[in-house]
Amino acid sequence: MMSQVSTMRGNVEIEIIFFEGCPNSDVALERAREAVALEGVAAKVRMVEILGTDDAITRRFLGSPTIQVDGEDVELAARVRNDYGFMCRTYRDSDGNVAGAPSVELISTAIKGRLSPNN
């Protein structure tokens, strides 16, 4: 599944990495699309299904759903983790509440980070 948004601000690739049956993969996709619209970037957004543990390790999968912008996890702290596996994932929002998908704000921040001149 792909969607494209055309603007002049920049270009990113966003992957929503999930396993079948994940109750939060659709929410993650919706939030990724919201972040793309908010940031006004051209983006390729695609769903990538994990098929098992070996696939999870190869894809640096920290749980479903994982969102990567240009191959980097949207959570800075997660970029140094290596506890890859076939499992669910949770995120903390800015208020410290636990959620099953990253916030639009977290995804937007990752997009901005990829488009900054330092990257």
Q: What beta strand segments (E) does the chain contain?
A: 2-5, 11-18, 42-49, 66-69, 72-73, 91-92, 98-99
Q: How many CB atoms lie within 10 A of CB 74?
A: 25
| Beta strands 42-49 and 11-18, pairing class | parallel
Domains of the chain with CATH codes: 2-115 (3.40.30.10)
Listed in sequence order, the residues at least 6 apart from 6 whose beta carbon sits closer than 8 Å to its beta carbon are 42
Q: What is the pLDDT of residues 74-88, one digit of tens each?
A: 998 888 898 999 999
Report pTM: 0.85
Percentage of the chain with pLDDT > 90?
Answer: 71
User: What's the rounded Cα separation, in Å, for the pair 113 and 97?
Assistant: 23
